[in-house]
Structure formats: structure tokens, C-alpha cells
């Protein structure tokens, strides 16, 4: 494989309302060699959802067979009902084709990915302040005051756990935040550990 041909696995996390989905959409629009990860789930498809595009829809039995086979980078079961997980095969196939994969998951899922795939790049999207985050949650007008307060309290826990991430990007101005993520990706692609084949090529594999 030639220098920098292998794609990166980019884990993007952050509290609700911080704008991580908007940042990811901008990255996909700017870079043809980037993909969003497609998760597997046991919930039923919603109207308009396409298997393999929005989710890989699995029966509970099939999902549990995949768990037993070690086929997930991470997985979780929500409210003891439906499973959600990130299939290794999709991510690795995209990366081996030279495309970087964005995985937008919560902090707990991000740490699970880091344990199973240490080469992943973990980026936490943070608000400029917690008060501004609360304003954004209120401004969405999609949740009750009780739901907003629950998300706001969860955000404090997420920020505390994010200290184990590789990078933090503050989303104050969208274009600046997107550029910061792009700079991280450029730096990661230049790491010596990701360019061992090229360095060996330079020296002809000689041990001096």
C-alpha cells in the first residue's frame, strides 16, 4: 500500500446541540474521500430508510451472532430494547480503499472504539461555554424543558470523560471548527507511524 493510501477512522463525539452533525456534513461536502460510518441496528426501518445506506438492519439473532464473532468496533443496547453497533467490515473496507470514515457516537462508544481499534482518531466537539450550549439546546425548540435539562446535565459528564480523547475542537464559528478538524486529519496522516512503508522505501529497508 502506498504512502497515506490507508484511510483514517475518525470518531467525533460531543454533547447534544454542539453541532457535531453540522461539522461532519461540512467535512463530507468538502472531501470526496470521506464517508459516514453506517451502523447496524435491530430496530425496524422507518419510512424512507434504506438497508445499507441509513443502517444495516439486523434481526436480534443475527446481531448477537455478530457480537459473538467479534464483528463490531463497538455496540450498545438502548433501554434493553434495540441493539446499535459499528460493523468492523464496513469501516475496514472503506479505509483499505483509501477513504476516511467518520463515526459519530457518544463518548462511551468512542472509548470502546479506542480499545478495539487504537489507531482511531478521537475528536471531541466542545461548545464555547456551557451556557451557550444550553442556549443552543433551547433554540432548537425540539424538546421539553425537562429533556433539555437532562441533556444539559449529561453534557457535563461527557466533557469530563472527553479528557481521554485525542483532540478537542471548540465549535464557536463553524468554518473555523471544520478547518481545525481538517488540520487534525492532515497532521495524523503525516505521523511517522502511518508512513512506515514510505520510510522503509527511502532507505531500501536497510538497517543502519
Mean pLDDT of 57-73: 96
The answer to whether residues 21 and 107 touch, using CB atoms and an 8 Å cutoff, is: no
What confidence tens digit (pLDDT) does each residue in 13-64 have? 999 999 999 999 999 999 999 999 999 999 999 999 999 999 999 999 999 9
Residue 55, in any domain of the structure: no
Residue 75, in any domain of the structure: no
Residue 66, in any domain of the structure: no
Residue 176, in any domain of the structure: yes
The C-alpha atoms of residue 167 and residue 184 are separated, in whole angstroms, by 8
Residue 54, in any domain of the structure: no
Whether residue 2 is predicted with pLDDT greater than 50 in this model: the reply is no
Output the domain CATH number for residue 115.
3.40.50.300
The C-alpha atoms of residue 128 and residue 165 are separated, in whole angstroms, by 18
- The number of distinct structural domains making up the chain is 1
User: Residue 206 — very low, low, confident or very high, per pLDDT cuts 50/70/90?
Assistant: low
Residue 18, in any domain of the structure: yes
Predicted confidence at residue 208, as pLDDT, reads 55
Q: Judging by DSSP bridges, how do beta strands 40-41 and 56-57 pair with one another? A: parallel
Q: What is the mean pLDDT of the chain?
A: 93
Residue 197, in any domain of the structure: yes
CA distances from 50 to 25, 34, 44, 192 (A): 19, 20, 11, 40
Cell of 207: 538497517
What is the domain range of residue 120?
A: 9-37+99-203
pTM of the model: 0.87
The C-alpha atoms of residue 87 and residue 45 are separated, in whole angstroms, by 18
Residue 67, in any domain of the structure: no
What confidence tens digit (pLDDT) does each residue in 83-98 have? 999 999 999 999 999 9
Amino acid at each position: 500500500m502506498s504512502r497515506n493510501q490507508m484511510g483514517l477512522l475518525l470518531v467525533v463525539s460531543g454533547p447534544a446541540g454542539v453541532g457535531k452533525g453540522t461539522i461532519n456534513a461540512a467535512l463530507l461536502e468538502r472531501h470526496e474521500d470521506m464517508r459516514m460510518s453506517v451502523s447496524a441496528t435491530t430496530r425496524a426501518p422507518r419510512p424512507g430508510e434504506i438497508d445499507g445506506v441509513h443502517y444495516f438492519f439486523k434481526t436480534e439473532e443475527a446481531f448477537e451472532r455478530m457480537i459473538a464473532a467479534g464483528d463490531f468496533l463497538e455496540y450498545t443496547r438502548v433501554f434493553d430494547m434495540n441493539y446499535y453497533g459499528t460493523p468492523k467490515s464496513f469501516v475496514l473496507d472503506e479505509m483499505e480503499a483509501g477513504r476516511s470514515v467518520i463515526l459519530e457516537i457518544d463518548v462511551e462508544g468512542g472509548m470502546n472504539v479506542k480499545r478495539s481499534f487504537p489507531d482511531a482518531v478521537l475528536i471531541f466537539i466542545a461548545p464555547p461555554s456551557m451556557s451557550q450550549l444550553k442556549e443552543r439546546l433551547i433554540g432548537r425548540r425540539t424538546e421539553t424543558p425537562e429533556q433539555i435539562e437532562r441533556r444539559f446535565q449529561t453534557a457535563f459528564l461527557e466533557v469530563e470523560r472527553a479528557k481521554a480523547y485525542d483532540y478537542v475542537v471548540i465549535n464557536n464559528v463553524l468554518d473555523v471548527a471544520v478547518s481545525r478538524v481538517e488540520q487534525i486529519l492532515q497532521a495524523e496522516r503525516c505521523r511517522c507511524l502511518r508512513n512506515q512503508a514510505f520510510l522503509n522505501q527511502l532507505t531500501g529497508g536497510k538497517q543502519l
